[in-house]
């Protein structure tokens, strides 16, 4: 399973790389805005750190604008993946960019049929937003299961990025389903590593070690 960090924060990316857990990064306009730096600076720093796929999102709403932005983003580095929203214009842009050999991450996927369209248009990745579905009482993980089945049925060359992840159980469920990629906030990666019994166990070993006679 590939782990992407869903962040534009350099310290988080550096820390995650140090843990050996960063196979790629996804960003979006909201994550970039959180950094309070200009887009250019964030992108430069992220690309300098990350070897794996880095998703950068277009902000145009029409096909021509998306394609123009997508081409510019893709030209920045070989590992850039152009993130395109799942709209009618976005689908057209995906088809054009994919035909040019540019990797596209079709984002804001909330139904299996949207994912089918994106895969058919040539998207290299589809990003179902499971947390936002859970937020409105729809089972986000059921969507992941449906998309995985559809992609497997037709052998599309498209990977599923489980996105909008809120907690470690989302990671567990996605892993049990065999999702290709999960993109998570750094906080979730930290939560996955921790267990109160591990902390208690470490403390007990350290306390007992003090009782061992020293020469
Ligand atoms: C995915 O690529 C998105 O950046 C992200 O997962 C959205 O998550 P949110 O619902 O927490 O904003």
pLDDT at position 215? 86
Active site residue 211: no
Residue 201: CB atoms within 10 Å: 11
Please name the residue whose Cα sits nearest to atom 1 of ligand 1.
163
CA 150 – ligand 1 centroid, Å: 22
- For the chain (215 residues), the mean pLDDT of every run of 10, in chain order, is 98 97 97 95 96 98 98 98 98 98 98 98 98 98 98 98 98 98 98 97 98 93
Mutation to probe ligand 1, out of 9, 34, 103, 131 (largest number of atoms < 8 A from CB): 131
pLDDT at position 207? 98
Q: How far apart are CA 77 and CA 204, in angstroms?
A: 49
Q: How far apart are CA 42 and CA 49, in angstroms?
A: 11
pLDDT at position 9? 97
Where helices occur in 88-195 by DSSP H, the ranges are 88-99, 112-121, 130-135, 140-154, 168-177, 186-193
pTM above threshold 0.85: yes
Catalytic residue, from 83, 92, 120, 214: name it.
83
Q: Which residue bears the tokens 């040539």?
A: 122
Residue 162 contacts residue 185 (beta carbons within 8 Å): no
Mutation to probe ligand 1, out of 28, 84, 161, 184 (largest number of atoms < 8 A from CB): 28
The CA–CA distances, whole Å, from 33 to 9, 53, 100, 137, 145 equal 11, 21, 30, 28, 32
Can you tell me whether residue 192 is helix, strand or coil?
A: helix
Domain assignment of residue 28, given as a range: 2-211
Q: Give the total number of structural domains in the chain.
A: 1
Q: Report the CATH number that the domain containing residue 130 is assigned in CATH.
A: 3.20.20.70
């Amino acid at each position: 399973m590939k782990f992407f960090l869903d962040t534009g924060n350099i310290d988080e990316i550096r820390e995650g790389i140090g843990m050996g857990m960063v196979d790629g990064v996804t960003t979006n306009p909201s994550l970039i805005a959180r950094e309070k730096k200009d887009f250019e600076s964030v992108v430069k720093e992220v690309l300098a750190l990350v070897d794996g796929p880095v998703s950068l999102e277009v902000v145009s709403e029409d096909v021509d604008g998306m394609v123009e932005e997508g081409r510019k983003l893709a030209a920045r580095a070989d590992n850039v993946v152009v993130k395109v929203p799942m709209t009618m214009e976005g689908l057209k842009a995906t088809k054009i960019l994919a035909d040019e050999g540019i990797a596209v991450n079709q984002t804001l996927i909330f139904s299996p049929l949207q994912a089918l369209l994106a895969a058919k248009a040539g998207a290299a990745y589809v990003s179902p937003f499971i947390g936002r579905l859970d937020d409105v009482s729809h089972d986000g993980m059921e969507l992941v299961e449906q998309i995985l089945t559809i992609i497997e049925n037709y052998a599309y060359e498209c990977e599923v990025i489980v996105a909008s992840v809120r907690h470690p159980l989302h990671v567990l469920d996605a892993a049990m389903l065999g999702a290709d990629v999960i993109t998570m906030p750094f906080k979730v990666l930290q939560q996955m590593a921790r267990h109160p019994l591990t902390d208690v166990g470490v403390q007990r070993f350290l306390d007992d070690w003090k009782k061992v006679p020293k020469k």
